[in-house]
Structure 1
């Protein structure tokens, strides 16, 4: 969709609801009791921290507590399935991400669901990913890395979290765009991978920017580029990999979103979406999240997020072709 058309669509959606107070919909009683926000990750991680910050903000705008329920396991599938089985009344929502809403059902058919099974509400956050190198590798730019990798096919090791994770998809996107072959080294989590990268046991790694940035600032790791179209507000000195001459068209980010079970009534969707919009357009909230390394996404209507979700699924399915998904 062209940017101008998208802006008009969003403005029209916002204007349609501006004539009513936040909770005044066809189902004006919603919400009447606490809402459960299911996070398909363990407590204490980046997704959980963002979910808890947003739960507090949403509670203030909806007038009811928003209680975070952590349900990790099966790469996010357990939490996603919990929401898909819930009553479509708005009291059980998913704090979904690229991984559990898109990557997991593509990588694992046993997950038993697809992105289209959810009722999309809106995107609420974006965390960028960064390509890292150990300082001793002797490269400081993507172009230097690509030149070295072409001299040593499968000679440079790349640490990733799992063989069917978002980082694995990011590694494939990067290698296909650059026309190089790297030796993938799967880890059970981001922390062990970063530890080995810091120790020089692997040459390269792909990680979420907030967790990697302190090591970059300390000179312990080299940030070669973000796997995004734009630079990060929190680190404007780190270029996008797409700014290089060797790589174009790489876009792999960790987005977070609100979604509900199938057949969630439109008035309930709109009530939640407008509360999320009020949160996202709160300058103080956006500034707090930026300090944590998160990007506040542009406001999207539920229909716009649905189109984004469908396009993202198509893009990741294309990347999955030829991947060894385990």
Structure 2
């Protein structure tokens, strides 16, 4: 009988990468013994990137190996997330992702071939509310004025967001659904052009992530109508939740960030990562960095499978209402 060690080794490597062969106990026992890559599915500089770098820095300290960030942008985060969902389940490739690439993209685009179920959740990291704003030229200064004005002229008013199917877009559609409003949506390629049109009064309303909107709000360039979470933000306690208005009492949606691993990750490695993340979330320097950026650090021990299922169901209702498709 002839043996083909090279060919068998190749097949074994492929099986391991596909998650068909579990990692040996020895590999889990020595994890980690080399650098870990945290994929951020957007270019450098945004809130997801900032959160990813803060997490990577803390994980490196807790795990004792280098943890590097790899920015893999494109397709609203789908390219980077897809890469991690197909990576080897060995704990050396992770995703620091937001709700868009983890839970929303699949609901909108048939070209996205993964869902939140195609990851091993490590833990929730942080969340940040969005904020609905009005152009100063609209003359609207409160949530009540916003609802009454838009209802009085259905179809006349326009709002902008940073893109179709983003959490910002879905938050405005949630408000429309709850309050019975009819407004048109204009998607922008980022907050820069949206801000230009809000300043000019070309669009009446817009949705920002809170950290992006605050400089414009506090500079008097746009008017904050309310944040999208039910509780006030510690960063901007002066801005009331939209849910304080009776017509929007169920309004509760945010941008959140989670650490995810490929599917079929051995439990021993997942437990090691969860412990390191939990320790990171309690580190004062980590908390300060995220809170200064407008985020709220997540509570410990969030049951991730239930959380992701609830969030996905929430987004599905909004997508169905607004008939959002790629």
Task: State TM-score, norm by structure 2.
Answer: 0.89
What is the Cα deviation at residue 190 of structure 1?
2.2
What is the Cα deviation at residue 69 of structure 1?
0.5
2:162–2:169 Cα contact (<8 Å) kept: yes
1:161–1:188 Cα contact (<8 Å) kept: yes
Match of 2:49 in 1: 48
* TM alignment of 1:213-224, pairs within 5 A: 213-224=214-225
Match of 2:12 in 1: none
Question: d(CA) in 1 for partners of 2:64 and 2:324?
Answer: 47
Match of 2:315 in 1: 316
Match of 1:80 in 2: 81
What is the Cα deviation at residue 26 of structure 1?
9.2
Return structure 1 stretches of 4+ with deviation > 6 angstroms: none
2:108–2:324 Cα contact (<8 Å) kept: no
2:129–2:228 Cα contact (<8 Å) kept: yes
* TM alignment of 1:143-222, pairs within 5 A: 143-222=144-223
Match of 1:299 in 2: 300
Query: How big is the alpha-carbon RMSD for the aligned residues of Structure 1 and Structure 2?
Result: 1.4
Match of 1:263 in 2: 264
Match of 2:16 in 1: none
Please give the secondary structure, in 1, of the residue aligned with 2:165: coil
Task: State TM-score, norm by structure 1.
Answer: 0.89
Equivalent pairs counted in the alignment come to 300
Question: d(CA) in 1 for partners of 2:81 and 2:289?
Answer: 28
Question: d(CA) in 2 for partners of 1:179 and 1:99?
Answer: 25
Question: d(CA) in 2 for partners of 1:62 and 1:101?
Answer: 25
Q: Is 1:248 aligned to 2:246, yes or no?
A: no
Question: d(CA) in 2 for partners of 1:294 and 1:268?
Answer: 28
Q: Is 1:105 aligned to 2:125, yes or no?
A: no
2:54–2:286 Cα contact (<8 Å) kept: no
2:41–2:79 Cα contact (<8 Å) kept: yes
| Larger mean Cα displacement after TM superposition, 287-296 or 101-110 | 287-296
Question: d(CA) in 2 for partners of 1:274 and 1:324?
Answer: 38
Please give the secondary structure, in 1, of the residue aligned with 2:301: coil
Match of 1:228 in 2: 229
Question: d(CA) in 1 for partners of 2:27 and 2:82?
Answer: 28
Question: d(CA) in 2 for partners of 1:325 and 1:280?
Answer: 36
Question: d(CA) in 1 for partners of 2:164 and 2:285?
Answer: 38
What is the Cα deviation at residue 195 of structure 1?
2.0
Question: d(CA) in 1 for partners of 2:200 and 2:38?
Answer: 38
Match of 2:325 in 1: 325
1:26–1:267 Cα contact (<8 Å) kept: no
Question: d(CA) in 1 for partners of 2:324 and 2:27?
Answer: 48
Structure index of larger Rg:
2
Match of 2:22 in 1: none
Question: d(CA) in 2 for partners of 1:284 and 1:154?
Answer: 47
